Amino acid sequence: MSQLHRALFISRKDIRSYYGKPPLITWALLFPAVLMLAIYVRNPENYLNSAPGIIAMTLLFGNTSMAAIVLTFEKRTGTLQRLLLAPVSSGTIILGKSLSAMLYGIATSLVLTLGLMLLLGMRLASPAPFILGLLLGGGIFSLLGLTAAALVREVFEAMTLMNFIRFPILFISGVFVPIESLPAWLKPIAFISPMTYVVELLRLGASGNSYFASPLIPALISLAFLAAAWKLTVFAFRRQAGQ
């Protein structure tokens, strides 16, 4: 069995064991529905301007939360230790667990997207960059969740650590305010956030507009962030496992 098959098996096991539970399914449906309603109530005429940012926020919280919770829970129950004794590499374990968290976050974001399209009339001007933004954002955010879980022992510690990362980037990444409307002193800070480029890909897909002249710019920078997040997660995981 190849390492990829082992990673897919780990991902399938996590989906069956954790993500298929009724409370998580309910949360995955309710959270986007509330956000969708909040968008419309806040600004019925121009609510679609905020839609890409809210979709990105749903992706961020879904991926980071579930990746951190699952890994921390398995560390406490000893499941992760048994997995480390199996003939799989640490990279295979990380890939499997990030894939399951990524699928969960993307599914949650798609629920919101479909709701906006079916109920509120949103249209996708260019589906390709929109899907690319979901995939790249899902990968980056799930790896960040795994990194946080690898550095701590308890779920609440992982959530606290993630909140120190998630909430600041929400306010500097064009989620609520487009980059072009940010103060001049804040724009350089926004460019160091991976969320900025994910939001811009989603904006380009939803409305056809973006701060960047070419979709290759946010796509390539997001790929660089994905590679950096992978390296960081592997380092944190191996250090925690004593490898």
Produce one character per residue of 139-164: b if its CB has 16 or more CB atoms within 10 Å, e if not.
Answer: bbbbbbbbbbbbebeebeebbebbee
Task: Classify burial at 4, counting beta carbons within 10 Å of its beta carbon; exposed 0-12, middle 13-18, buried 19 or more.
Answer: exposed
Backbone angles phi, psi at 75, to 5 degrees: -65, -40
Nearest to 130 by CA among 156, 143, 153, 112: 112
SS3 content of the chain, % helix, strand, coil (to 5): 80, 0, 20
Q: Which residue has the higher pLDDT, 113 or 35?
A: 113
Please tell me the least confidently modeled range out of 33-42, 102-111, 205-214. Answer: 33-42
Please report, rounded to a whole number, the percentage of residues in the chain having pLDDT higher than 70. 95
Best-predicted range by mean pLDDT among 85-89, 136-140, 157-161? 136-140
CB 206 within 8 Å of CB 124 = yes
Note the pLDDT of residue 115: 83
The pLDDT tens digits of the residues spanning 187-216 come to 888 899 999 999 999 999 988 888 898 899
Q: What is the mean pLDDT of the chain?
A: 85
Nearest to 31 by CA among 105, 128, 131, 117: 105
Note the pLDDT of residue 203: 92
Band (1; pLDDT cuts 50, 70, 90):
low
* CA distance linking residue 86 with residue 104, whole number of Å: 25
Size of the chain, expressed as the number of residues it contains? 243
Q: What is the mean pLDDT of residues 213-231?
A: 94
**Two tokens at 202?**
């989603």
Q: What is the mean pLDDT of residues 5-27?
A: 79
